[in-house]
Amino acid sequence: MSPPILLTRPADAPRQDLDAYRAAGGYEALRAAVAGDPGDVLRAVDESGLLGRGGAAFPAAVKWKLAAAQDAEVKHVVANGGEHEPGSEKDKFLVARYPHAVLEGMALCALATGATRGWVYLIEDMAEQIAAVEVALEEARAAGLVGERVLGSEFSFEVSIHRAPTTYVAGEESAAIDSIEGGPGKPKKKPPYPGEAGIHGQPTTVNNVETLAHVAWIVRNGPDAYRAIGTPDSPGTMLFTLGDRFVKPGVVEAPFGTTWRQLFEEHGGGLESGRAVRAIQPAMSCGFLTAEHLDVGIAHETLRPLGSSPGCGGIRVVEEGEDVLPVLVGIAQFFMDEQCGQCPPCRMETNQFAHVLKGVQAGKGGAGYAEPIRKVAAFARRKGHCSLIEMAAAPILSALDVFAEDLAAAAGA
Ligand SMILES: Cc1cc2nc3c(=O)[nH]c(=O)nc-3n(C[C@H](O)[C@H](O)[C@H](O)COP(=O)(O)O)c2cc1C
C-alpha cells in the first residue's frame, strides 16, 4: 500500500493549521519554487502525469502550459471546490480539513503559469469550508505565503474566496468564471478556453481543489515518486466518497489500481445491509459497472473500455434485490432539474430521459422504451456549451444494457 498523499491525518482530525501543515513538509515546495525556476514546477507536474480530479481527467500540465504561453498582464488560478454532485463529499472534506494543501497548490500553479490572482471557488452554503479557507488565508498572509512578494521573492499572489450560487452547473469551469465575473454562473461556449481567455478575458487556469492539492507533494517528492504510485496511465492516488450504505462511510484515499472490492471491503467495511453488490456507479455522471467488475483495478484506462470512468469518485452502489427504477428516475430527474436551460438539445435530452423512465416506472413504457432514449442521446451529443449532455447520457445509456431485464419487465415489454 502506498502512503497517503492527501489525507495524512486521522479521518476525524480537525483542520490542519499552518503549523501542522508546515511540520508535515508543507510550503517547502513553494519556498524552493520561488527561489528557483518556475519552469521546474511545470515540468514536474507534466512529468508526474497528474490528471484532473474534477471528473474529466484532463492532464493538468496541458492546461497549465496553455495559460503559461499567453502573454497577459493579469492571469488567474481558480481552485474549483464547487462540489455539487450527489454522493460526492471529497472536495468539501479536503477543503475543510486540508486548506493549506489547496492554497500551496494554487500558489505553485500561479507561479508556473504566471498568474497573480487566485480564487477559491466555493458554494455560498459551504460555511465550514469558507471558514476553513478564511482562517488558512489569514495564517498564510501573516506568514508571507500569500500576498505581495511571497517569501520575499518577486512573486506576488492575492487570493480571494468566491461564494457561488448553489447550482450544479455553477461548478463547470466557464460557469465558475461567469460567476466570478458577477454573472449568474452559467456555462459559456468554448473556444476560447479559460487558459486563453477566462476571467475578464484574462488567461485563467481552473483546476479542481483535489488536483491542486496533489501539486505540492509532486514538487516536493518529484514526479518519479508520484508515478511510482497508481498505474502507468493513472498516476497517484484519488479521493473516493463512500456513502452511508457502507459500514465505514466517509472520504478515503486510495492509489489508482485499487479494486472496487478492496475499496468497499478494506476501506468501507462492506455494505451495512450485508447484501451483495449488484452494480457500481463510480459517480452520478458515470456509466454503471456490474459485480463482474468488482476485481477491476480503478483507473481511467481500465474503466474507459467498460463505458465508465472513475469520475469524481462519489460512489453509488445498487444492491442485489434493490429496485433500480427509482435509482434511474432519480438520476434522470437530477439532470433535468440541474440543466441550466441555455441549450435546447440539453433541455430536450434531459426531459426526454426523465419522461421515458417515469413512463417505464409506471408500467407504460412498452417494448420500444429504449429507442427514444438512444435517439435523443445521439442527437444531443456534443451540442451543449458544457458536457452536461454527455454526463446525463452516460449513466442512462449504460443502464439500458446493465438493467435491460429490469427495465423490460417494468415497461411491460
Ligand atoms: C455540469 C458540470 C458541473 C461540474 N461541476 C464541477 C465541480 O463541482 N467541481 C469541479 O472541480 N469540476 C466540475 N466540473 C468540471 C469543470 O468544468 C472542470 O473540468 C474542472 O473544474 C477542471 O478541473 P480538473 O481539470 O482539475 O479536474 C463540472 C462540469 C460540468 C459539465
- pLDDT tens digits along 116-151: 999 999 999 999 999 999 999 999 999 999 999 999
CA 231 to CA 398: how far, in whole Å? Answer: 25
Average pLDDT over residues 95-120: 98
- Span from the CA of 169 to the centroid of ligand 1 (angstroms): 9
Q: Alpha carbon of 177 to those of 14, 21, 92, 181: distances in Å?
A: 31, 30, 20, 6
Pocket test for ligand 1, best of 63, 122, 172 (most atoms within 8 A of CB): 172
Buried b (16+ CB within 10 A) or exposed e, 209-241: bbbbbbbbbbbbbebeebbebbbeebbbbbbbb
Segment 339-344 shows an average pLDDT of 97
Q: Which residues have C-beta within 8 Å of that of residue 375, sequence separation ≥ 6?
A: none
Q: Where does 256-299 have alpha helices with state H?
A: 260-262
Q: Which atom of ligand 1 is nearest to the CA of 391?
A: 31
Instruction: For residue 64, give the C-alpha cell.
Output: 497549465
Across 270-294, average pLDDT = 98
Instruction: Domains for the chain: give ranges and CATH numbers.
Output: 18-227 (3.40.50.11540), 237-319 (3.10.20.600), 324-411 (1.20.1440.230)
- Count of residues for the chain? 413
Residue nearest ligand 1's atom 17 by CA: 172
Over residues 165-203, the pLDDT tens digits come to 999 999 999 999 999 999 999 999 999 999 999 999 999
pLDDT reading at 3 higher than 80 = no
95 alpha carbon to ligand 1 midpoint, in Å? 16
Q: How far apart are CA 72 and CA 83, in angstroms?
A: 30
* Residue corresponding to grid cell 477491476: 296
Pocket of ligand 1 (CB under 6 A): 52-56, 58, 80, 82-84, 168-169, 171-173, 206-208, 211, 386-388, 391
pLDDT of 302 higher than 90: yes
Residue nearest to atom 15 of ligand 1 (CA): 172
Confidence of residue 2 (pLDDT cuts 50, 70, 90): confident
Ligand 1 atom at minimal distance to the Cα of residue 80: 11
pLDDT category at 246 given cuts 50, 70, 90 is very high
Q: Looking at ligand 1, which residue's alpha carbon is closest to its atom 30?
A: 172
CA of 300 to the centre of ligand 1 (A): 17
Render pLDDT for 35-73 as a digit per residue (tens, 0 to 9).
999 999 999 999 999 999 999 999 999 999 999 999 999
Ligand 1 mutation target, pool 78, 80, 179, most atoms within 8 A of CB: 80
**Which of 83, 177, 208 has the most ligand 1 atoms within 8 A of CB, as the residue to mutate?**
208
Cis link prior to 191 (omega < 30° from 0)? yes
| 1 pLDDT above the threshold of 70 | no
With 0.85 as the threshold, say if the pTM is over it. yes
User: What residue type is assigned to position 157 of the chain?
Assistant: F
Specify the residue with its C-alpha closest to ligand 1, atom 24.
52
